[in-house]
Amino acid sequence: MRIDDEPAYVLHARPWRETSLLVEALTREHGRIGLLARGVHGPKKQSLRAALQPLQSIRLDAVMAGELAQLRRAESQDAAPRLLGQAMLAAFYINELVLRLAPRHDPLPELHRAYGQVRGRLAEAAGLAWALRRFERDLLDALGFGFDWASAADGQPIDPAARYRLDPQEGPLRLLSERNAAERRGLATGAALLALGEDRMPDAADLASLRPQMRAVLLHHLGGRGLKSWELLGDLNNRNP
């Protein structure tokens, strides 16, 4: 099967043998695909190597040959965001998340669109925590794991003043009894859930309450094996509310 002039984002690239690269890309119509890019070294291949850097927006031609596609052409569509510090770690996180959760060869145009949006938001360098929570929400939706952010698991409307645990299967479960302060802090506020569902940035405290619960949901879908980037990110909610 041929893939012609396909929009894609580069997720990861690593050397293979002496002159080639193994590339993972998120395409619009074919989902996540693995690519073998042969002969990318040398002065005449500089533009091709630049096009195959993580975060780069490209258009590609390839031929599917088993698990990997043979790359025939890749052209940059813009300049990839130049990220530093926390923004760079955030980009590492979203790429790792897509690599771990998005199945190969499963068309996910909604995920492709969400990736493009978060890529632009990371370049703005402000509000990183909010940008990541929005992408996590959109990723779950695209994979069929999303929630109704306005309703709890029992069908009752979300109470902005209540606290909720996000169950990966059932959705938001309201805290019905008093817990100690530390346990309450680990739960999401109803106000944060409503804001996330409405794509409206909550205040700093509510935003911070989303992080542990979203991580717990993602960890479930990751099969209990965490991400390397989680060890590096730190608390973006406190540093970049």
Domain ranges of the chain: 2-76, 85-239
Question: Pairing mode, if any, of strands 68-76 and 31-37?
Answer: parallel
- How far apart, in whole angstroms, are the C-alpha atoms of residue 8 and residue 30? 9
Quickly count: other Cβ atoms within 10 Å of residue 86's Cβ: 18
pLDDT at 39: 84
Average pLDDT over residues 95-119: 97
Mean pLDDT of 203-212: 96
Q: Supply the pLDDT for residue 214.
A: 97
Name the superfamily (CATH) of residues 85-239: Recombination protein O, C-terminal domain (1.20.1440.120)
AA letter at 79: A
Which residue type does 117 have? Q
Q: In what order do the strands lie in the sheet with 163-167?
A: 171-174, 163-167, 188-189
- The CATH code that applies to domain 2-76 is 2.40.50.140
Number of other CB atoms surrounding residue 76 within 10 Å? 17
Looking up tokens 């530093």 gives: 84
pLDDT digits (tens, 9 = 90+) for 121-154: 998 867 999 999 999 999 999 999 999 999 999 9
What pLDDT, on a 0 to 100 scale, did the predictor assign at position 125?
A: 63
Please report, as a single letter, which amino acid is at residue 196. Answer: L
Tell me whether domains 2-76 and 85-239 share a fold.
no
Could you read off the pLDDT of 54-94 as tens digits, one per residue? 999 999 999 988 889 999 999 999 988 889 888 999 999 99
pLDDT of residue 72: 94
The predicted pLDDT at position 237 comes to 43
